[in-house]
């Protein structure tokens, strides 16, 4: 019979991470282990990547739910956890690992054989202008052709000047620019800010206004001068009919999928199916998982047949992260078959 246990872990940022919601110095996460008591030496490992202040299941009863899932793991189906995205993410991961021998191979593919890589964007965290400029230059020198900038925390004119700097040196055909506002714009000012941003040939903007304002977001998606991608808007929308209603109402150009926040792998795959049926583009982004979650996430993405840069982290944000089989070379993320993430 299946058994399970969990463990809490606190990740520490190397540098404070700036977002439109404030500065992050630590990131809480949980690891779940699953095994069959007939073969206890083979253990599946998953990460329940709770994101405090953002996850829909950030509630006082979170650990109680984890305890209940571990206690009843032999009878819990991932779809039973539709409203517990990070728990489902971790359980799906652990069960996949267990099914493949507990070796950190979650989704076998050419990627896990070391014969395929994933193209990723270079992420520029919020900071003062000088810090962001330095980070931009580092990403460009590393060979990234797609850069994503977090905006909305410093003076808007300073953010425009950073974009202007990039475009003075690189055209849109040379470097693709994405920006992520994390809902920082007020609805009344959003269109004028989008018009100002449009001068820099941006690929897209993620979540220009806060989630839950469907009619306002729909208006922006209809009239914005460049594509809008929904990110936080998907969090907590777990029922399939509700997902369909959201897409039908807003009809964004893209949706951003973070499985730890939008229903685990199963919930994210449901979003992908609905988006494809509606002619809406999508890509996958990590959500500050440890290297354990990033490993599974990258392996899953590699099975999706993606052809555009993905927003996957590279495991370099934290001082106390774990050994990872993922290797970054410029904008390419690959899997080192000689490595294992079994340091947890």
Write out the catalytic residue numbers: 150, 258
Pairwise CA distance, residues 70 & 75, whole Å: 10
What is the distance of C-alpha 100 from the center of its chain?
A: 24
Q: Rounded to the nearest 10 degrees, what angle do helices 156-169 and 187-197 cross at?
A: 20
β-pairing, 332-335 with 118-119? antiparallel
Q: Rounded to whole angstroms, how far apart are CA atoms 143 and 170?
A: 12
- Helix, strand, coil share (%) of the chain residues, nearest 5: 35, 25, 40
End-to-end CA distance of the chain: 23
Asked if 324 and 339 count as a contact pair (C-beta separation under 8 A), the reply is yes
For helices 264-278 and 85-99, angle between their N-to-C axes, nearest 10 degrees: 110
Q: Could you give the CA distance from residue 167 to residue 132 in angstroms, rounded to a whole number?
A: 15
Q: CA-CA distance, 64 to 71, in Å (whole number)?
A: 10
Give SS3 for 206.
strand
C-beta separation of 281 from 254 below 8 A:
yes
Which ranges constitute the DSSP H helices of 118-260?
129-142, 156-169, 187-197, 214-223, 240-250
């Amino acid at each position: 019979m299946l058994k399970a246990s969990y463990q809490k872990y606190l990740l520490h940022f190397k540098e404070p991470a700036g977002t439109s919601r404030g500065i992050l110095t630590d990131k809480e996460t949980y690891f779940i282990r699953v095994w069959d008591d007939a073969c206890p030496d083979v253990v599946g490992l998953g990460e329940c990547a709770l994101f405090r202040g953002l996850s829909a299941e950030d509630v006082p009863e979170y650990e109680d739910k984890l305890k209940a899932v571990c206690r009843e793991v032999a009878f819990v189906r991932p779809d039973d956890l539709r409203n517990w995205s990070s728990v489902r993410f971790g359980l799906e991961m652990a069960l996949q690992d267990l099914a493949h021998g507990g070796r950190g191979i979650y989704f076998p593919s050419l990627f896990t054989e070391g014969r395929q890589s994933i193209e990723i964007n270079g992420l520029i965290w919020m900071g003062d202008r000088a810090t962001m400029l330095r980070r931009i230059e580092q990403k460009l020198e590393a060979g990234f052709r797609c850069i994503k900038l977090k905006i909305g925390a410093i003076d808007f004119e300073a953010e425009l000047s950073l974009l202007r700097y990039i475009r003075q040196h690189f055209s849109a055909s040379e470097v693709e620019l994405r920006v992520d506002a994390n809902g920082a714009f007020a609805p009344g000012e959003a269109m004028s800010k989008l018009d100002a941003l449009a001068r820099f040939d941006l690929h897209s903007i993620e979540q220009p206004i806060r989630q839950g304002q469907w009619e306002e977001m729909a208006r922006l998606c209809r009239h914005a001068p460049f594509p809008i991608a929904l990110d936080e808007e998907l969090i907590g929308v777990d029922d399939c009919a509700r997902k369909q209603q959201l897409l039908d109402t807003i009809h964004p150009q893209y949706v951003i999928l973070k499985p730890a926040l939008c229903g685990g792998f199963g919930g994210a795959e449901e979003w992908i199916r609905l988006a494809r049926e509606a002619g809406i583009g999508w890509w996958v982004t990590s959500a500050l998982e440890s290297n354990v979650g990033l490993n599974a996430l990258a392996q899953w993405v590699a099975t999706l047949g993606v052809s555009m840069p993905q927003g996957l982290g590279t495991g370099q944000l934290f001082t106390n992260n774990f050994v990872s089989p993922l290797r970054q070379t410029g904008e390419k993320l690959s899997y080192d078959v000689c490595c294992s993430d079994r340091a947890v």
